[in-house]
Each structure stands twice: as C-alpha cells, then as structure tokens.
Structure 1
C-alpha cells in the first residue's frame, strides 16, 4: 500500500536541478526575509510561509535545492517537491503527484507513522494493488501529521508552482494555507517555502515574499559565475566587460549560462573589442536569445530542427541513443542509419551540437533528453520558435512536426532486419504459447532487436500516434494509410510482427491477418479511422 504512493520519476526534476555553482546561493541564508521565516517568534505573522519569486531562469530552483544539501538540524524533517512542466506524466506536474510524493517522504523520514497510515487506508488495498489515490485523503493525512509533530520541525519546499495548472495550484495553495493555520493552532514547527515566477499572480493571506532578481546577493552570484567562466585575462578593460555582462543579464542566471560560451568563442581569438560588439548584439530577453542561438549557424539546420521537434513532440522522453537514431532517421543519407552507433560520449556531444545547447542529458536514471529549462519549451511552443529554423512551418508547426516524426519512425522500422518468421507459436495469441519456454523466447527476441536496433520499440509503438496527431492538425495521412492497407504490404506485416514482439500481454497481440482498420480502431485513433 505504501509503495503505491510512488510513481516513475517523482523526484526527477529535483535530481536534475544543477547544484549551485561554488558558494553561490548562500546569501539567502543570511537574508532578513529568510531569518524572519525561520524565527519561531514571527510565525503568527507569516504562518510559516516564504514565497521565493523571480523571473524565468533567475535560479529559483537552484536556490530551493541549496537548502536541501545543507546539514539539517536535529529533529528537523525536510521534504520537497519540484513541479515539472516538461514531464509527460501528469503526476509530475499536478498537486496529486505532489501529495503522493510528500506523504511517501514523510513515511520514510518518520517510520513510526506507517502503522497509522496502514490503518487509516487499509480499505484501499485491493487484491495486492491499491485503489487510486485522491488529493483529499492525502491532504487529510498530511494535516494529521502536522497536528502530531510534537517537538519535531517540518520544512516543506515546493518549487516551480508556475509549471502546474493554475486552477490546480490555486486549490493546492488553499490547502497549504489551511495546513499553516493548523500548525499555528497546534503550536508545532512547520515551514513551507514556495517558489514561482511572478505570473500567474496567486496570493496568500499570510506569508513573506522574497524576490530573487532584485537581491544584491543574487547579483553577486552572477558576477562570481561570470568571473569564473569567462575566459579572458584580468585587466581594466575586461573588468568593464564583466560588469556590462552582469548588467545586461538583469538577474537572469540562465541568460548568463547561455551567453558566456558565445563570448568565449570570441575570447579564444583574443579580441576584447569583438567580445564587446558580440555582447551588444546579444538580446537581453531570453526568448530573443533563444531565437538568436538558433539563427546563429546555418550548418546542419535539418538536424537541429529534428532534434528540437523530437524534444517537443515525442510521446515520451527519449534516451540519448534513441534521439540520436531518431534524428538520423530523418537524414537524406541512408548510410547514416546503417553505420555503427557511436559510443555514449560521442552521442552526447552530437546531441548537444544538434540542439545548440538548448537540450541536455538528464542526470536521472535512466538518462533522458530534456530542455535545459522550461523557458526553452515555452519559446518553441508559444513563440513558434521552430520557424526560426524552417520558416514555412508557420502555424502548422505541430502537425508538420508530428508528420516528420511519423516519417522518421516508419523509415527506421523499414531498416530493422534479422527478424524471426511470423510464428504464432512464439508470437501469436493462442493458449499453447503461455509456457515459460515461449515467454523466454519472446524476451530473447525482444532483447536482441533492442540491442541491435535501439529505436525500434519507440518507433513501433508510436508511429501511428504521430500519424494521428498530424491528422488531428489537418495534415492528411490518407496516402500513408493507403500505402499500408494493401493486402500484400510487407511493411505493415512487419509492423504487426514488431508490435507483437514488444507487446508484453499475449492477448493484445495481433494475428498476421489483422487489418489496418481493426488496429487503428483498437488503438482508438479516431482521426485515422475517419
């Protein structure tokens, strides 16, 4: 029952927030607002709330994580949840996911709560599983924990509220205010630290606001980063350049992180004047900077476009090798797909180059490709940023992107070879297949294909989903479906075979005679069925 609180990648965002550079972020612990928040004598005034606010990319998440890596006091329990708008799983960006994660963390930190938890929720156990969790029941448990804290201190960090749905976040804030009131009434030590952008504007009745980008300590952190990473010799001229960089950043740490490598290219040639001119040409706003980064080079535009399309529109996050092969599947040269797959570090360098540094490999396990910051995804989606790479995409960018991804998936599947015969004994749906020998045979075939052709599982499971998405945006898939529907079409039969190989449940596998209409209907692909 307790394990049912867990969900995949529940702490992925927290683990992927980069650790603070050097001694940066330490200023917050001596900040008057922070001290007031920690002072028990002031709790009636702020009900335990500190709300850190700042511009996108100003380093709020890094500051939130900085407290977690410091030595905690005795009897202090620290739990945290970081919302993640880039996630495909709705739980990572919803209050329900937050409640599940916080309760699970409480049970780990305070094991004596387990008996009370199991007794309170014993009716949820259902034949070895648990009925779905609801926010209301988890809220009630958290309230009970707060009331019974006794001499212990509980600190809760909740990051990136702006990455959740606004109505959901407003309801969550209402509950947290109730939680704060309960802690005051019960005279227990509860502190809640929130962080978000300035928008959407959500207010709490009692709490302390701390605006990051206006703090001298934060600006000193930016200056420290520039001093450590800008590759130029010290002089009066270079000092003036550093000050100019910091001023133009306007408190946005991400801007600095992206701009320094651009300036270092000029520094390698030893031209301070060129660096000044380059800095003058760099726009101060993040969206404009992203556009400039994408426009800067004309080399490999196709690969850059496909890299960002996959990061935006993939049905699930891709591993580095999957993304590498997905990009190569869109290449005009067939040799790029049939050549040997490079080693891991070479793939990472290639993907960094393809995205112009706008994506990264996560530090979570297994590693996936993600945008370096939510502002990149927002720029590409809301500002139609892909048109900077291909101007004719226009407003049809989502549909044309899904069309491209569908083509890449299908092209990759055509390459997969060395498959077994379509044998119903090992891959069909009959009862006689449900033997340990048959299951092991299925696993061996799947493992062999995944090892030789790592992008196969994604391609076979999602090629029709991308076709469905393209059709829903008005891009006709009639020619593609007509091509597959022919009775003697070997490509469609190959898809069925591969689908069966990667389908865990035998009852859901298809016979060789399954029609395209039956399969699209079975997957509820309404637009393709029409």
Structure 2
C-alpha cells in the first residue's frame, strides 16, 4: 500500500527533513518549514475502516474550522450573465495576456478588473469562475459583501479562511501540509479561532512549494471590503503574485485611486470595452422585444445614456416597459427623455416622484439601512406597518396575506430598490450603490426633512418607536405566552407575529444607537422606567431570549440597568444611573441583578461581580469609555 508522509517543522533557523526518495522541500529560513515526501498523495489510507472514517471526520472538522456561515452566499446571489453575453471578456487583449504565462513579467499573474458602480463587475467575475471550472485549474474564489451583517464577509480574515478552505478541498497535498497545523492548534487550545497572521503565513509558505494544478484565485468587490482592510488585502495578494508559483489572480473593484498599487498588473476597465456595450445592447433588445419599428430608436437612446452602467439599464428598462404598458412607444420615448443618465440621480428620481406612500417607502429604506440584523420579508413588512400608524398588526393570517403578497408590497414600497436574494431568506438592497446613495450628500434628509442634522440617530429613534408600538399593539397576547422554555411555542409565536421577536430583543439597541447619534434618550428612558408597562417588555424579551434562560430569568423583574449593562449599552445605562435607578434590585435567579448583568457583559465588567458597586464608580466608567474598552484601575 502506498503511503503519504508529511513532516512539519516550525521555527527559525535551518530545518531539514528528508524521507526516502522523491520530492524534498527544505526551506532554510525563519518561519514555517514544510518538508514532504509523497509517492501518491491521493492514495487511499491503509488500515481499518475505522481509521479511514476517523481521518474523514478529521478533515471535515478541519474544513469546518475555516468555514463560516454565508461563506458562499454572495457568489450564489449574483445573477448569471444574460444569455449570449459575457464571453467578450475572454477575447480581450488583457485577458489573453493574463492567461499567457510567457508574459508574466508584464503582469505578475494579476488581472485587475475595474469599473464604475453598477457596471456588472461581479456578474463578470462569476462568469469567469464558471469559465475556469472546466479548464483543469484549481479555482478558489472570494466575493466581498458590504451588505452582509457578518464581519468575515468584509475582512481579509474571511477571504483567507475561504480561499484556504477551498484549496484544502481541491488539493490533497495542501491539506496534508495544513493538517499538522490544525492538529497542533486543536491540541493546544480548547476553544479557538484562526488568526489572520497564521493563515497568511501558511498560504505564503505553501505557495513556495505548491505543485498542484494551475491555481486561479478570484477576488471580487475589493471596494466592499472594510476600508481599513483594503490595503491589507492588496498587500497579501501582491505577496502571492510574486511567489513565483503557477498562480493567477483576478480581482475586481470600483476605481480606487487611493489604493497603493500592487506593482505590476494587467488592468481591464469594463465600461471602456466595446463588448460590454454590445452586451448592454443585447439585454435591452431582448427585454424590449416588441413589434414596433420605433423600438430600435429606444434601444439606441438607452445605450447613449447608459454610460456602460448595467444597473442603470436594468432599472430604466423596467421603467420603459411599465410606460409601454400604460401607453405606447411614445410614452416610452417620453420616459427615456425624462430619466437622468447618472445612477445617483436615477435613484433620486425613483424615490422623489409622486408617491402617496412616501413615508412608508422611507421607513422601509431606514429599516434595511439600520436594522441590527438582516430582516426576513415578513419582519420588514410588519416593522414598516408598525411605524405608519396601522393598528391591525397581527396575528399574520397567511390565508389572507401570502408571502408573495408581502414580496410584492416590499417591491412596490421600496420602488424596486429592495430585494430578497435567491440564496437567502432576508432582504437587502438590490445593489451596494443604493446604500451609498442614501448615506451620501444628505440624501436621507432630502427625502425626509424631519431627520434634521442627525439622520442616523433620528432613524434609530424612529425604529425604536416602531418596535415599542408593535409590542404595545400585541400586548394582549401576553397571557398566551408560555414561560416554560418550550421552544416550539416560541417558534409558533414568531410565525404568528413575525416582528415581535426582533422588536422585543432589539428596541434597546436602537435606543442606544439613537443616543450615540445625538438624539437624546433621557426623557424617553425616564418615562419608560416609570411606566407600569415596562414589565411587559421583560416578558417578551424573556420569551425570545433564544436559550439564554439564565439571563432571561434574571430580568423577569425587568431592571433596565441590568439589561443595558449586559448588552453593553453604556449610554442608556449612564442615563439610568444619572436618574436614580436602583443599582441593587434582587433578581429571580441571582443575588444582585446588576451583578448578573455585568457577568454577561465584557470581561472587565464581570470582575465587578460579587462586590458592592458604588454608583459613582459605574458613572465614572460609563462616562469615560465604552464598556468594551473599560479599564478598572483604581
């Protein structure tokens, strides 16, 4: 039986391990050393079935340690290219030179696809990924996602974990090199997460000895990476590109003048390519396929105004089709003359035109912008109703209001700017440029002047009010809620009252964010602290606490200070302390509710537990820093 051997040496200085004939890799330098002897890396393991099963489970565990929720979601959500489009990129000089390894000195194996927002860069990147799947290459992809609530989808660490995870699946030799690293990590730590530096070190070392199939790395939407991380990602990709191994890197981004260059690379600008404009023409022709000789003139007009922005074309074509349905080709020509050619101005036109439900539209946009977590369509629907004066907010009768009805309502109210992606069950904007538009140049204030100088703070204050309105409207169901920890009943109530869970768990998050946005919560917190109905909030919160029963039981008497500290809402906690909140109410399951709260909070605050915490001490802590940065020196 053939075997695969791997010897791993880590440390500085010289390290040599030679095992029998075959390939030897000895790297005599500081850092990680990999020495491997392989006769047949893909040969089945010898030994019993149990041993093979153990190794299989170990590999699965290793891959799971690198993977994370939604690791592939962004790529899955990107639409495929329109039929018979996209192939132009494979015929460009830039792409062909990038694929030509004899021209490596001219580009270091890097193709950087650039384009304005909405040109369709991500769609092209997915098309390139499909192109390489049948070419005998090993492909690893990462699609940054600024619309995600997951930090890993926006950071270098998430990219590196994803790329490495894919390489371990595709290349057995790379997995065998990584296995000792995984085993040592697992042996030394009970609970752990991979660090960015250690994974970078492994990948860079692995590239020095990589002898697998030609490797293609695709990294999309670099501009959607966290601002502080962009240069970090570029530097890492640059280091990979000069590793003198058979690796090709293709990345895409908006035009990024402030990024330090990767050095030598091949650049392709999407909106400057004739093939891209040909694709737009084909899309318009297919979507406006009507038996009218004047349609050709409409198509030409769209192309002239599009400036290569595919997102603009998609939105305008939908508007033209609607105009045609309400009139004739003349109506389409009129509409085309009216729409602005700039994408931002098009968004403004869509949102500012006569709209009897304008407040509903604005509120729906605010929810997608500022929700604490992604909302399901049903949650967004009822969250919006809760803020528009509707009194009949539940229960949800799906025989009278279907999920499709809710989808159509969201599309109508958002003017088509909010969608439910195909690989997800939560809502998001149709494109990152919508979010950019709303948060730039006082666009929110122009849509709703009542937001004043603090649009973010005022928005959070409004969302807080929506949460409390929904809870108040459904107060009568309290008697039906079981507090015995029956998760099936919690799920049942979530189906009947889709927004109740979010409202119960996150109204205080929005109060904290409003205070942080200079919208004072002092009057509100004083009022709610003295409101007899405050206990109702406790019961709802406890019902949806998702397994945090110990903390939930602690707050059944509902001490707002306890809850604020536990969730690190230091601004709200400071308000409560300044207005005489009792710092030592007795909880149900703990001695002091306050101590129970800080035990659920940051490590530094948990050190207070078991001691008497004077009011002035808490106030000093909360005034000087956020809880997550608290220092407790005396």
TM-score, scaled relative to structure 1: 0.91
Query: Displacement of 1:231 after TM fit?
Result: 5.2
2:215 to 151, 154, 173: 154
The answer (yes or no) to whether the contact 2:98–2:104 under 8 Å persists in 1 is yes
The answer (yes or no) to whether the contact 1:25–1:63 under 8 Å persists in 2 is yes
1:239 to 269, 288, 296: 296
| SS of equivalent to 1:8 | coil
Does residue 498 in structure 1 map to residue 540 in structure 2? yes
| SS of equivalent to 1:209 | strand
Distance 1:302-1:144 versus aligned 2 partners, 3 A rule: same
Measure the CA separation in 2 of the matches of 1:384 and 1:222. 32
Q: What is the match of residue 438 of structure 1?
A: none
Measure the CA separation in 2 of the matches of 1:129 and 1:2. 17
The answer (yes or no) to whether the contact 2:555–2:563 under 8 Å persists in 1 is no
| SS of equivalent to 1:283 | coil
Query: C-alpha deviations, 1:44-76, integer Å up to 9, x for none?
Result: 321110000011100100000002223624541
Query: C-alpha deviations, 1:78-123, integer Å up to 9, x for none?
Result: 1111111112222111111100111111112224433322212333
Q: What is the match of residue 107 of structure 1?
A: 168
Q: What is the match of residue 527 of structure 1?
A: 571
| SS of equivalent to 2:248 | strand
Query: Displacement of 1:422 after TM fit?
Result: 8.9
Measure the CA separation in 2 of the matches of 1:139 and 1:399. 39
1:165 to 210, 226, 238: 226
Query: Displacement of 1:457 after TM fit?
Result: 1.8
- More off after superposition, 67-76 vs 398-407: 67-76
Measure the CA separation in 1 of the matches of 2:331 and 2:496. 48
The answer (yes or no) to whether the contact 1:4–1:130 under 8 Å persists in 2 is no
Q: What is the match of residue 600 of structure 2?
A: none
| Alignment size in residue pairs | 507
The aligned runs of 1:94-493 (5 Å cut-off) are: 94-125=155-186, 130-182=191-243, 184=244, 188-202=245-259, 203-230=261-288, 232-235=290-293, 237-338=294-395, 340-341=397-398, 342-365=401-424, 367-414=425-472, 415=474, 417-419=476-478, 441-486=485-530, 489-490=532-533, 492-493=534-535
1:16 to 65, 77, 88: 77
Query: Displacement of 1:270 after TM fit?
Result: 4.2
| SS of equivalent to 2:139 | strand
The answer (yes or no) to whether the contact 1:86–1:370 under 8 Å persists in 2 is yes
Query: Displacement of 1:336 after TM fit?
Result: 4.8
Is there any run of 5+ residues in structure 2 with no aligned partner, and where?
A: 1-61, 575-634
Does residue 508 in structure 1 map to residue 551 in structure 2? yes
Query: Displacement of 1:339 after TM fit?
Result: 5.9
The answer (yes or no) to whether the contact 1:231–1:264 under 8 Å persists in 2 is no
The answer (yes or no) to whether the contact 1:465–1:525 under 8 Å persists in 2 is yes
Measure the CA separation in 2 of the matches of 1:303 and 1:128. 51
- More off after superposition, 238-247 vs 304-313: 238-247
Q: What is the match of residue 51 of structure 2?
A: none
Distance 1:218-1:339 versus aligned 2 partners, 3 A rule: same
Distance 1:466-1:408 versus aligned 2 partners, 3 A rule: same
Measure the CA separation in 2 of the matches of 1:281 and 1:124. 62
Measure the CA separation in 2 of the matches of 1:199 and 1:207. 14
Measure the CA separation in 2 of the matches of 1:421 and 1:339. 16
Measure the CA separation in 2 of the matches of 1:95 and 1:416. 45
Does residue 58 in structure 1 map to residue 110 in structure 2? no
Query: Displacement of 1:174 after TM fit?
Result: 1.5
Measure the CA separation in 1 of the matches of 2:296 and 2:557. 73
Query: C-alpha deviations, 1:222-241, integer Å up to 9, x for none?
Result: 00111011254341x33122
Q: What is the match of residue 41 of structure 2?
A: none
Distance 1:116-1:281 versus aligned 2 partners, 3 A rule: same
Measure the CA separation in 1 of the matches of 2:137 and 2:322. 47
What is the alpha-carbon root mean square deviation over aligned residues?
Answer: 2.1
Distance 1:222-1:99 versus aligned 2 partners, 3 A rule: same
TM-score, scaled relative to structure 2: 0.76
Q: Which has the higher helix share?
A: 1
- More off after superposition, 472-481 vs 25-34: 472-481
The answer (yes or no) to whether the contact 1:231–1:267 under 8 Å persists in 2 is no
| SS of equivalent to 1:193 | strand
Query: C-alpha deviations, 1:177-205, integer Å up to 9, x for none?
Result: 111111x2xxx321100101112442221
